[in-house]
A and B are shown apart, each in its own frame.
Chain A
Amino acid sequence: MALLNSKTKAVLLGPLNKNNPVIVQVLGICSALAVTSKLEPSVVMTIAVVVVAGFGNVVISMLRNTIPNRIRIIVQLVVVAALVTIVSEVLKAYLYDVNKQLSVFVGLIVTNCILMGRLEAFALGNGPWPSFLDGVGNGLGYGWILIVVGFFRELLGSGTLFDIPVIPQALYDIGYENNGLMILPPMAMIVIAGIIWVHRYRDKELQEETN
Chain B
Amino acid sequence: MKTEKNTYTIIYASIMVLLVALGLSFTHQALSEKQKKNVEIDKMQQILRSLKIDAPTDKAQTIYNDLISDAYLIDIESGTKKETSSGTQPTDSAFVVNVTNREGFPIYEAEIDGDKKYILPMNGKGLWGPIWGYLAIDSNGSTVYGVDFGHDSETPGLGAEITTENFRDQFEGKELFKDGEFKSIAVVKKGKSVSNRDYVDGISGGTITSKGVDAMLYDSVGDYENFLKNLTVSK
Contact = CB atoms under 8 A, between A and B. Distances in A.
A65 B9 CA distance: 13
Contacts of A67: 3, 12
Contacts of B35: 89, 92-93, 96
Interface stretch (B15-23, B116-124, B216-224): B15-23
B31 interface: yes
Contacts of B8: 68
Interface string A78-104: 110010011001101110110010011
B156 interface: yes
Nearest to A34: B156
A69 B8 CA distance: 11
B10 to A, nearest CB: 9
A66 B70 CA distance: 61
A75 B27 contact: no
Interface residues of B, number: 29
B4 interface: yes
A118 interface: no
B156 A38 contact: yes
Contacts of B23: 82, 86
Nearest to B156: A37
A92 to B, nearest CB: 5
A70 B205 CA distance: 50
B1 interface: yes
Given A68-B3, A68-B8, A68-B12, A96 B156 contact: no
A71 B12 contact: yes
Nearest to B12: A68
Contacts of A65: 1
Contacts of B20: 78-79, 82
A71 B38 CA distance: 39
Given A37-B156, A37-B157, A78-B16, A86 B3 contact: no
Interface in B123-164: 152-153, 155-158
A10 interface: no
A104 B24 CA distance: 19
Contact of B31 (A37, A75, A93, A184): A93
Nearest to A158: B157
Contacts of A94: 34
A180 B205 contact: yes
A53 interface: no
Interface of B: 1, 3-4, 8-9, 12-13, 16-17, 20, 23-24, 27-28, 31, 34-35, 38-39, 42, 57, 152-153, 155-158, 204-205
Interface of A: 37-38, 65-71, 74-75, 78-79, 82, 85-86, 89-90, 92-94, 96-97, 100, 103-104, 157-158, 180, 183-184
Give the 6 A-B residue pairs with the shortest CB-CB distance, closest first.
A183-B157, A96-B38, A93-B34, A93-B31, A68-B9, A37-B156
17 contacts: A37-B155, A66-B3, A66-B12, A70-B9, A78-B16, A78-B17, A82-B24, A86-B23, A89-B27, A92-B35, A92-B38, A93-B31, A96-B39, A96-B57, A180-B158, A183-B155, A183-B156
